[in-house]
Amino acid sequence: MQIRFADSRPAGEFALVLAVAGKNRATLNGLGPQRPAVDAALNRQRFEGESASSAELFIPADGGGVRRLLVVGTGEGSSPADAAEKLGGTISARLLTSGESHAVVDLTGQGFDADAGARVALASALRAWRHDRYRTRLTDKQKPTFAELTIIGAAAGAQERWEQRWRPVYEGVSFTRELVTEPANIIYPEAFVERCQGMRDLGIELEVLDGKAMRGLGMGALLGVAQGSVRDPRLLVMRWNGGSDGEAPVAFVGKGVTFDTGGISIKPAQGMESMKWDMGGAAAVVGAMMAIAKRKAKANVVAICGLVENMPDGNAQRPGDVVTSMSGQTIEVINTDAEGRLVLADAITYAQRNYRPKIVVDLATLTGAIVVSLGHEFGGLFAPDDELAGQLLAASAASGDRLWRQPLDEAFDKLIDSPIADMKNVGPREGGSITAAQFIKRFVENGTRWAHLDIAGMVWSDKADTTYDKGATGFGVRLIDRFVEAAVEKAA
Ligand code: BES
Ligand code: MN
Ligand code: ZN
């Protein structure tokens, strides 16, 4: 998507887009003599300007012929940021395969500040994202036509705000979606790392540990998961040092299970293909690093991804096996399908021992139970620290990546004690997301502030929304980006 900001309407053919907040149609005044016919057409469609509603009609074009007019409702009383994102997203949803290649949206009279103007661009670009690489038989009618959006009437500074603040986020979210969408024969641990190598050019330091290096560090929990796969695991470490020298970093740790068959505790066939996106936490973390580096955030950030494939095999770990984690704690592996927490345990230990972060936030598609609790509307937030929980909830509200806080408690911790090792990797079925979080908590060392985000219900969507189509959502990138801005950069 080509996005431009301009002072006036360009020459040539384009669809004109105007936004209307509820029943007040003052923003259509510029239509001049065409206004009565447009009003009549909108009334005939029962268009009332509700949020994300839209109506299309054709009006006479200046130089003869017809012009598509898309009128988008932004609702009464929406905040400028929300109205702007609804508008941008709706433009792309309506025009993507419409036959129209260029649209001009006139923001005159919307009362949008520079940020809101830039967010029209952000939402339009995000909603137009698709992954068509393997669809070689698309007919012309199925292919996107919409390729260019010109924004006029925006507040001064909107273009700069887009380029410096929101285009980086768009690029980070797109990168995450691509990793999540790619199948597991294409994205396996080594391939995931390969796709991230280009981020060195953004000034990110990149370090990679292979299976051998991890054996040297005693990462028995992560390696136990990886041992059933012919794909060698990787630990990917990225550093962005945009903050002050010597300032302890914030660490984001991602679950990167590039495919989760369940291992010997194998999953049912039905729906197993969706486990290609069991690396959605890792993908969110690297997409956020891209955004943070591209916008040159003034913060020290570390990203660590535990990348493994969970497969059943003659060499796979068995239920009942006891493994020793890098922390020295031993784990009885009751269920090989509870593999994410094993991967995170060693990744979190590595993060703390090597980078002494002041905060660790892990993101993981960890449990089916969180999807039972929160559906596809909220990710689960687990954090013993009220202040950190509050900062993450604030970032959630501001970014649109919605979280709902869940409990942690000693009573749940007891449920993962093992008779043969320090702990077992599963508790009872009840409270399954909480015992998973309690398991991870056992690897948090000497008072490090920590939060766990169980995003199993959020990385993939069966239905389109304002800023995404069906498929990979990119959940977590905007959340991390906002958290870094509000809780790390502004706090400094
Ligand atoms: N990757 C899954 C969690 C998951 C399930 C994500 C469904 C998205 C949709 C995870 O590794 C897993 O298998 N968890 C088990 C844990 C259980 C064995 C304690 C689960 O949730 O069933
Ligand atoms: Mn699993
Ligand atoms: Zn998994």
Mean pLDDT rounded to a whole number for the chain: 98
- How many domains is the chain partitioned into structurally? 2
CA distances (Å), origin 475, targets 134, 291, 472: 23, 13, 8
* CA-wise closest residue to 340 among 278, 269, 264: 278
pLDDT at 492 over 90: no
pLDDT of residue 364: 99
Cβ contacts of 212 within 8 Å, gap of 6 or more: none
How large a percentage of the chain has pLDDT more than 70?
A: 100
> In terms of domains, do 131 and 178 share one?
no
Question: Is the C-beta atom of 375 inside 6 A of ligand 1?
Answer: no
At 64, the pLDDT band (50, 70, 90 cuts) reads confident
The predicted model scores a pTM of 0.98
Ligand nearest to the CA of 335: 1
> In terms of domains, do 185 and 143 share one?
no
Tokens (6 digits) for 174: 């797109």
For the segment 199-242, what is each residue's pLDDT rounded down to a tens digit? 999 999 999 999 999 999 999 999 999 999 999 999 999 999 99
Please report the atom of ligand 1 found closest to the CA of residue 267. 13
Q: Bridge partners of 471?
A: 461
Q: How far, in Å, from the CA of 44 to the mean position of ligand 3? A: 51
At 62, the pLDDT band (50, 70, 90 cuts) reads confident
Looking at 341, 424, 442, 482, which residue is catalytic? Answer: 341
Ligand nearest to the CA of 257: 3
Q: Bridge partners of 382?
A: 452
For the segment 133-151, what is each residue's pLDDT rounded down to a tens digit? 999 999 999 999 999 999 9
At 63, the pLDDT band (50, 70, 90 cuts) reads confident
Residue 410 backbone dihedrals phi, psi, to 5 degrees:
-45, -40
pLDDT at 195 over 90: yes
pLDDT at 52 over 90: no
Tokens (6 digits) for 135: 């669809």
What mean pLDDT do residues 319-348 have? 99
Asked if residue 160 belongs to a domain, the reply is: no
At 124, the pLDDT band (50, 70, 90 cuts) reads very high
Identify the domain containing residue 438 by its residue range.
Answer: 167-489
> In terms of domains, do 12 and 49 share one?
yes
pLDDT at 117 over 90: yes
> In terms of domains, do 142 and 62 share one?
yes
Determine the residue type at 445.
Answer: E
Give the CATH number for residue 193: 3.40.630.10
Q: How far, in Å, from the CA of 357 to the mean position of ligand 2? A: 28
Please report the atom of ligand 1 found closest to the CA of residue 426. 19
Mutation choice for ligand 1 from 255, 367, 460, CB with most ligand atoms inside 8 A:
367
Secondary structure, 3-state, 317-332:
CCCCEEEECCCCCEEE
Asked if residue 284 belongs to a domain, the reply is: yes
Q: Choose one of 155, 175, 204: the last residue of a domain.
A: 155
> In terms of domains, do 217 and 134 share one?
no
CB atoms within 10 A of CB 97: 16
pLDDT of residue 23: 94
pLDDT of residue 380: 99
**Does 255 participate in catalysis according to the annotation?**
no
Looking at 4, 9, 195, 267, which residue is catalytic? Answer: 267
pLDDT of residue 193: 99
pLDDT of residue 151: 98
Give the integer Cα–Cα distance in Å for 330 and 304: 22
Asked if residue 161 belongs to a domain, the reply is: no
Give the integer Cα–Cα distance in Å for 332 and 324: 9
pLDDT of residue 162: 98
For the segment 440-461, what is each residue's pLDDT rounded down to a tens digit? 999 999 899 999 999 999 999 9
Question: Is the C-beta atom of 454 inside 6 A of ligand 1?
Answer: no
pLDDT of residue 488: 96
Whether the CB-CB separation of 287 and 237 falls below 8 Å is answered with no
**Does 267 participate in catalysis according to the annotation?**
yes
Q: Choose one of 98, 132, 155: the last residue of a domain.
A: 155
pLDDT at 284 over 90: yes
Asked if residue 162 belongs to a domain, the reply is: no
In this predicted structure, which of 50-54, 162-166, 476-480 has the lowest mean pLDDT? 50-54
Question: Is the C-beta atom of 432 inside 6 A of ligand 1?
Answer: yes
Whether the CB-CB separation of 406 and 473 falls below 8 Å is answered with no
Mutation choice for ligand 1 from 276, 337, 453, CB with most ligand atoms inside 8 A:
337
> In terms of domains, do 126 and 197 share one?
no
Question: Is the C-beta atom of 335 inside 6 A of ligand 1?
Answer: yes
For the segment 393-422, what is each residue's pLDDT rounded down to a tens digit? 999 999 999 999 999 999 999 999 999 999
> In terms of domains, do 148 and 171 share one?
no
For the segment 296-323, what is each residue's pLDDT rounded down to a tens digit? 999 999 999 999 999 999 999 999 999 9
